[in-house]
Amino acid sequence: MPESPSSEVRKKLETLRNRFQDKTIGEIEGLVASIFSASQHQETIDELVAAYQLLHRLAGSAGTLGFTQLGEQARTLELAIKPLADQVTEGIEKHHIQLQLKELLAGGFDKDLIGLRSFLGVADPVSTGWHKPTPVESDNQFVLLILDPDQQHGHLVSQGLALYGYEVRSLSSAEQWTDSMDDVDLVMIRDTLLQDEGASWLPRLHKLPVICFSEAHDFATRYRLARLNVDACIDGALDIPALADQVEQLLAEGVATLSGKVMIVDDDRELLEHYRVVLTSGGMQVRAFDDPSRLLSELAEFRPDILLMDVQMGQYDGPILARMLRFQAEWLSLPIIFFSSEANRDLQLDVLARGGDDFVTKPVSDEFLLRTARIRCFRARQLDKLVSLDSLTGLLKHALAKTELNREHARCTRSGHSSVVAMLDLDHFKQVNDSYGHGVGDMVIKALSNLLRHRLRNTDIIGRYGGEEFVVVLPECSLEKAVEVLEALNQDFARLVFNGGSEEFAVTFSAGVAALNDYETGEEAIDAADRALYQRKRAGRNGVTVATAEHS
Ligand SMILES: Nc1nc2c(ncn2[C@@H]2O[C@H](COP(=O)(O)OP(=O)(O)OP(=O)(O)O)[C@@H](O)[C@H]2O)c(=O)[nH]1
């Protein structure tokens, strides 16, 4: 039988533990020998510094690798020996330090030191409860589940959302929701189904984004729904574009948190490997290395969302590296999070003041590591989007869309494949704004962008070119195929019903299409698509017109 992903992760974590155990046995033996030797021979008193450093490292790493008791005991010993190690560094007279060491050992430190090794036999159980298998990336095909006793409402919601390219399943009772439906990405549920808080299926909601159909607006009901993990409430009145927008937002958050890119630098190889296993199995892309001098080249190549770094790595100091990174404008906003065994808040603040963004105190649990990394990646991506994506639609802004278009133009002329550019413009949009208000007009713009995002491929480029004008680039696509896709979109968009307050209405769009390869530059192709779009407008709107190529 093939192994489950969780048991594979468990095996990897266990292997790392065993490696850590083997290595640490020898290290503890050396530690005990050097401390006793320092108590006997003044000339080896300097070894107290290395002994302190080892205890400090163990205090941070042992817990993370599953030896909590060893970590705690190492922390106690570390704190006891620190004043002596500090005196060695300050050059205090060796005889004086030796006397204090003898006193320390006689006071019970000797037994604790010898007993340290026994804690290597006390490991925490390996838990992979945090691990969820990485979802397989489908081509924008999300599965939505509707749980609604009002079957007619469920059916209309299904039909409406299917237009956006979602796979929608509809059940009239939650009991029909079986374990076999574990590919669901989002649930929409009628509030009456959430009345039985002891229902056996309820825990499934905790793992998914949840939208509740509810007409209740009172505080107590809303609070109860929020406590049951509901993310959004929509009234039962059917407003498919508004619902699709909510679905889109919740799904986008989930995808962003799953797919972050994390770079980790730590000179402790077992820890580094442990972090890598945890984050990779949590669905993140990870680049981990133990040599800080590779930092700049690895950053330039991998371009992470966040950087996790140890504070002290051999000859390199993490906060100094952070400050060095900030010399380059491109890394100014890169979130840098430090791992540290340092519990002293003043020292932590000092590190933050020197270019770090946050602190994670070692030992760090696997779940905490994964959640911190996910949240940080999500925030970093949100900020990045603010800069490059249009705030209303989440599509590329004008300038970036043009850059991508030119890139595809260069790519298709070089490789010879055919690609297409299309310009889309909403018809009589001024009337929509004038009749129903700017807010409703915005919803129409969002509806078209959501439709485009869901029905086109991940590799297609979609931008908001102007107010109610969009640009779409379809790489590796023939002109005929592009026309077919756009005509289908055109028909489905026209079937969307918008809620204009007192009345419902529909909107259409016009499109002009041009083959990128037929033009010398991306700019010329887009002008041709634009001319075709205006031919379409003159010919009565609501349809797709192909540009006549001038350089075929
Ligand atoms: N609600 C909303 N309206 C916008 C936005 N950007 C542009 N518009 C409006 O879109 C309308 C575009 O109107 P026109 O260029 O006259 O074109 P039209 O009414 O769509 O007519 P045709 O394109 O000829 O079919 C204007 O009323 C703009 O104010 C936006 O972000 N939100």
What is this model's ipTM? 0.94
- State whether 445 and 488 are in the same domain: yes
CA distances from 196 to 53, 109, 140, 285, 422 (A): 56, 58, 34, 40, 51
Q: Whose CA is nearest to atom 12 of ligand 1?
A: 430
pLDDT score at 136: 47
pLDDT reported for residue 386: 73
- The CA 430 to ligand 1 mean position distance, Å, reads 5
Residues 68 and 174 reside in one and the same domain: no
CA-based nearest residue to 226, from 198, 194, 249: 194
Whether 150 is covered by a domain: the verdict is yes
Tell me which of 215, 240, 257 is where a domain ends: 257
Q: Is 36 in the pocket of ligand 1 (CB under 6 A)?
A: no
409 and 474 together in one domain: yes
Q: Is residue 551 a part of any domain in this protein?
A: no
Contact predicate 519/525, CB 8 Å: yes
For ligand 1, whether the C-beta of 428 sits within 6 Å is yes
Query: Max CA-CA distance within the chain?
Result: 99
Q: What angle do CA 324, 330, 335 make, to 5 degrees?
A: 70
Which pLDDT belongs to residue 132? 60
476, part of any domain: yes
* Residues 94 and 61 both lie in one domain: yes
Number of helices and strands (H, E) in the chain? 18, 19
Structural domains of the chain, count: 4
pLDDT at 6: 74
> Which pLDDT score is estimated for 287?
96
Q: Is the CB of 426 under 6 A from ligand 1?
A: yes
On whether residue 126 sits in a domain, the answer given is no
Structure confidence at residue 138 (pLDDT): 47
- Map residue 503 onto helix, strand or coil: coil
Indicate which residue's Cα is closest to atom 26 of ligand 1: 430
Quote the CA–CA distance of 247 and 84 in Å, as a whole number: 60
Q: Is residue 336 part of a domain?
A: yes
- Could you tell me if 420 and 489 lie in one domain? yes
Site to probe by mutation for ligand 1, drawn from 429, 432, 442 as the one with most ligand atoms within 8 Å of Cβ, is 429
CATH number at residue 154: 3.40.50.2300
Q: Same domain for 433 and 490?
A: yes
Cα distance between residue 243 and residue 227, in whole Å: 21
Residue 467, ligand 1, Cβ within 6 A: yes
Q: Is the CB of 270 under 6 A from ligand 1?
A: no
Q: The domain spanning residue 502 has which CATH number? A: 3.30.70.270
Give the H/E segment covering residue 414: helix 398-415
Show which of 236, 257, 278 is a domain's final residue: 257
User: What's the pLDDT score for residue 176?
Assistant: 85
pTM above 0.90, yes or no: no
Judgement on whether residues 298 and 161 belong to the same structural domain of the protein: no
On whether both 91 and 153 belong to a single domain, the answer is no
Residue 514 within any structural domain of the chain = yes
| 8 A C-beta contact, residue 421 and residue 473 | yes
C-beta 445 within 6 A of ligand 1: yes
With vertex at residue 65, the alpha carbon angle to CA 63 and CA 67, rounded to the nearest 5 degrees, is: 50
d(CA 241, CA 497) in angstroms, rounded, equals: 8
**Ligand 1 atom 6 nearest Cα:** 467
Is 538's C-beta closer than 6 angstroms to any atom of ligand 1? Answer: no
How far is Cα 457 from Cα 460, in angstroms, rounded to an integer?
A: 5
| Mean pLDDT of all residues belonging to the chain | 88
Instruction: Provide the domain limits for residue 71.
Output: 5-121
Which among 69, 70, 77 has a CA at the least distance from the CA of 23? 70
State the pLDDT at residue 133: 54
Q: Is the beta carbon of 78 within 6 A of some atom in ligand 1?
A: no
Q: What is d(CA 249, CA 463) in angstroms, rounded to the nearest whole number?
A: 18
**Beta carbon of 460 within 6 Å of any ligand 1 atom:** no
Does residue 132 form part of some domain?
A: no
Judged by DSSP in three states, 186 sits in strand
**The two structure tokens encoding residue 73:** 């005991």
> Does 528 share its domain with 432?
yes
Ligand 1 atom closest to 434 (CA): 27
Are 419 and 483 members of one domain?
yes
Ranges of residues in the chain with a pLDDT under 70 are 1-5, 129-140, 236, 254-258, 342-344, 549-552
End-of-domain residue from the set 257, 279, 300: 257
Q: Is the CB of 85 under 6 A from ligand 1?
A: no
The predicted pLDDT at position 78 comes to: 92
**What H or E segment, with its residue span, contains residue 210?**
strand 210-213
Domain-embedded: residue 378: no
Q: Answer whether 433 contacts ligand 1 (Cβ < 6 A).
A: yes
Q: Which residue has the tokens 């001038």?
A: 550
What does the pLDDT read at residue 420?
97
468-503 pLDDT, tens digit each: 999 999 999 999 999 999 999 999 999 999 988 889
Same-domain status, 197 and 61: no
Do residues 105 and 234 share a domain? no
What distance lies between CA 78 and its chain's CA centroid? 37
Residue nearest to atom 31 of ligand 1 (CA): 467
Closest residue by Cα to residue 512 from 490, 491, 534, 493: 534
